[in-house]
């Protein structure tokens, strides 16, 4: 297998990333989005994230195998040290370590930004079915996230109801005067020098 590399996403990646995301909207309840967004809408979402947070892609042999990013957990100022994390891996690259490597790289970038809390919002079935299983929760557990809340039958897709859970991972100390959160552009050079993520 070709070597896996992690790098910062570019807007020119949008079409390839959208191709990865589209099967999740069409065939799964992993995302509660019904319709695959248009390319301009997807680019707009990328731009929004990239204003402040890391947006990373994993490449194998020149092909993007998955992507991960963080965005604001909530917009109020007091939530500034918390983010929501998101990851999507190309269907045929699942269970190859791509997801773990992406999330580990994302965590390194967020730590450099002085982020403290990582939160993941995950669709969760009462029983596994052809659209959704509990694999995402298990994946996050393996990476040190813990379950902090469950909402029952709050998502409706494919003519059935799904639960949603929040999971959380703490990656820094909560002090009386936390360090200010650094914009992603400010830590890019450090990320490249320390971890080889450019």
Q: Dump pLDDT digits (tens) for 49-67.
A: 999 999 999 999 989 999 9
Domains identified in the chain, total number = 1
What mean pLDDT is reported for the chain?
97
Task: State the pLDDT at residue 1.
Answer: 54
Torsion of CA 113, 114, 115, 117, to 10 degrees: 150
Model confidence, pTM: 0.96
User: Which domain, by its residues, includes 33?
Assistant: 4-195
102-139 burial by CB neighbour count: b if 16+ within 10 A, else e? bbebbbbbbebbbbbbbbbbbbbeeeeeeebbeebbeb
Task: State the pLDDT at residue 96.
Answer: 87
Tell me, what CATH number does 56's domain have? 3.40.630.30
Task: State the pLDDT at residue 73.
Answer: 97
Dihedral sign for Cα 167, 171, 172, 173, please: positive
């Amino acid at each position: 297998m070709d070597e896996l590399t992690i790098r910062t996403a570019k807007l020119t990646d949008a079409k390839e990333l959208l191709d990865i995301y589209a099967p999740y909207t069409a065939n799964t309840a992993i995302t509660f989005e019904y319709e695959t967004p248009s390319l301009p809408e997807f680019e707009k979402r990328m731009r929004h994230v990239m204003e402040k947070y890391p947006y990373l892609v994993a490449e194998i042999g020149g092909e993007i195998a998955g992507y991960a990013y963080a965005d604001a957990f909530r917009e109020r100022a007091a939530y500034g040290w918390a983010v929501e994390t998101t990851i999507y891996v190309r269907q045929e690259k699942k269970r190859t370590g791509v997801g773990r490597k992406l999330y580990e790289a994302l965590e390194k970038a967020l730590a450099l930004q002085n982020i403290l809390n990582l939160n993941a919002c995950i669709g969760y079935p009462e029983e596994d079915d052809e659209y959704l299983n509990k694999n995402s929760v298990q994946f996050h557990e393996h990476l040190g996230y813990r379950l902090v809340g469950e909402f029952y039958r709050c998502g409706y897709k494919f003519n059935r109801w799904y639960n949603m859970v929040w999971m959380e991972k703490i990656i820094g100390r909560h002090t009386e005067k936390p360090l200010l959160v650094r914009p992603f552009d400010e830590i890019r050079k450090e990320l490249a020098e320390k971890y080889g993520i450019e």
